[in-house]
Amino acid sequence: MVQKAKILLVDDRPENLLALEAILSALDQTLVRASSGEEALKALLTDDFAVILLDVQMPGMDGFETAAHIKRRERTRDIPIIFLTAINHGPHHTFRGYAAGAVDYISKPFDPWVLRAKVSVFVDLYMKNCQLREQAALLRLQLDGGQPAADAKEPVGLLAELSARLAAVEEQAEALSKQLDESADAAAVATAAHLERKLTGLRRALDALEPGAGSGAGAVSSQS
């Protein structure tokens, strides 16, 4: 059974958190509240999140400072951050958000459908990455001798399934990139490029596990 993804909602105003929960509840994922930057960082110490919705204007540690802490931690640096702000300070303010590591910057009041659609993209990518990691881990276990000789044919089947799953993600990512190119949203295009590089790395790693590609083949044959 696939576990639900966790989405971190960070805002010092309870009514804003309630509104976000109402908008994102349709995604049927786990929504985690944090009423301050400090509380958000504490939640990130123990849980993995698909995406973070982070309010910019908060007393004490604001959104920019919170994002800086998130990006400095190896465990959390790759989690997508969507900044939410009630004040439009112009291009400089928006640039500061992207410089702090945000993948998107949305001004309130925002369109609920648009916000939900943006979050769903990152949730979907997170879930697919989790599935790929699980399949890769299982495959490596078998290639390293974790299964008896009777199951020696299984890695090949798993490899084909893993390759097919990755191909599906690559196809969706390509379609997403085409849509983003038309939108001319620099931050979104940069995010898509990052995803493309990540997928390329996964494909290379997968190719290296193909029978005959190196030690992988030897690991399989050694079981017989």
62 exposure class (CB count in 10 Å sphere: 0-12, 13-18, 19+) = middle
* Token couple for 188: 């979104």
Reported in sequence order, the residue ranges of 59-155 that DSSP labels E, i.e. its strands, are 81-85, 104-107
Closest CA to 32 of 19, 46, 21, 23: 21
Q: How many helices and strands in the chain, by DSSP H and E? A: 8, 5
Residue 129: per-residue pLDDT:
82
Single-letter code of the amino acid located at 75 = R
**Closest alpha carbon to 105 in 54, 157, 140, 59:** 54
Alpha-carbon distance of 125 to 79, in angstroms, equals: 11
Within the chain, which residues score under 50 in pLDDT?
1, 148-153, 183-184, 214-224
In the CATH hierarchy, which fold is given to the domain comprising 6-110? Rossmann fold (3.40.50)
Q: Give the type of residue at 83.
A: F
Q: Give how far Cα 33 sits from Cα of 43, 50, 52, 75, Å.
A: 9, 14, 10, 19
pLDDT for the residue 42: 95
For 209, half-sphere exposure in the C-beta direction (CA atoms, 13 angstrom radius) is 24
* Token digits of residue 18: 């309630």
CB 209 within 8 Å of CB 159: yes
Q: How many CB atoms lie within 10 A of CB 94?
A: 17
H or E element in which residue 191 lies: helix 186-208
Q: Which pLDDT score, from 0 to 100, does residue 136 have?
A: 74
Rg over alpha carbons for the chain, rounded to the nearest Å, is 20
- Looking at residue 12, its pLDDT comes to 94
Q: Which residue(s) pair with 55 in the sheet?
A: 84
**Backbone phi, psi, residue 34, to 5°:** -145, 125
Q: Check residue 201 and give its pLDDT.
A: 72
